[in-house]
Amino acid sequence: MRAFSQLLDDLVYTRSRNTKLKLIGDYLKETPDPDRGSRSPR
Protein backbone atom coordinates (compact mmCIF):
# COMPACT_ATOMS: atom_id res chain seq x y z
CA MET A 1 0.00 0.00 0.00
CA ARG A 2 2.90 2.34 0.68
CA ALA A 3 4.22 1.82 -2.84
CA PHE A 4 0.84 2.82 -4.26
CA SER A 5 0.67 5.87 -2.01
CA GLN A 6 4.15 6.84 -3.15
CA LEU A 7 3.11 6.37 -6.77
CA LEU A 8 0.14 8.70 -6.30
CA ASP A 9 2.31 11.35 -4.64
CA ASP A 10 4.86 11.11 -7.44
CA LEU A 11 2.15 11.39 -10.09
CA VAL A 12 0.60 14.45 -8.46
CA TYR A 13 3.91 16.31 -8.27
CA THR A 14 5.22 15.29 -11.70
CA ARG A 15 4.36 17.49 -14.66
CA SER A 16 5.83 15.46 -17.51
CA ARG A 17 3.48 12.97 -19.17
CA ASN A 18 6.36 10.69 -20.16
CA THR A 19 7.69 10.66 -16.61
CA LYS A 20 4.23 9.80 -15.30
CA LEU A 21 4.00 6.89 -17.74
CA LYS A 22 7.43 5.68 -16.62
CA LEU A 23 6.39 5.89 -12.96
CA ILE A 24 3.28 3.81 -13.66
CA GLY A 25 5.24 1.27 -15.70
CA ASP A 26 7.89 0.96 -13.01
CA TYR A 27 5.21 0.48 -10.36
CA LEU A 28 3.52 -2.29 -12.36
CA LYS A 29 6.86 -4.05 -12.98
CA GLU A 30 8.03 -3.87 -9.37
CA THR A 31 4.81 -4.51 -7.46
CA PRO A 32 3.62 -8.11 -7.05
CA ASP A 33 0.22 -8.79 -8.59
CA PRO A 34 -1.79 -9.35 -5.34
CA ASP A 35 -0.49 -6.03 -3.96
CA ARG A 36 -2.02 -4.22 -6.93
CA GLY A 37 -5.48 -5.45 -5.93
CA SER A 38 -6.06 -7.71 -8.90
CA ARG A 39 -8.42 -10.62 -8.51
CA SER A 40 -8.10 -14.09 -9.85
CA PRO A 41 -9.78 -14.59 -13.24
CA ARG A 42 -13.25 -16.10 -13.26
Q: Give the structural domain span for 24.
A: 2-36
Q: Quick check: 3 and 27 in contact, CB under 8 A? A: yes
Tell me how far apart the alpha carbons of residues 14 and 8 are, in angstroms, rounded to a whole number: 10
Residue 41 falls inside a structural domain: no
Q: Note the pTM of the prediction, 2 decimals.
A: 0.74
pLDDT of residue 32: 82
Residue 42 falls inside a structural domain: no
Q: What is the pLDDT along the chain (42 residues), one digit of tens a residue?
A: 799 999 999 999 999 999 999 999 999 999 887 766 665 555
Q: How many domains does the chain have?
A: 1
pLDDT of residue 29: 92
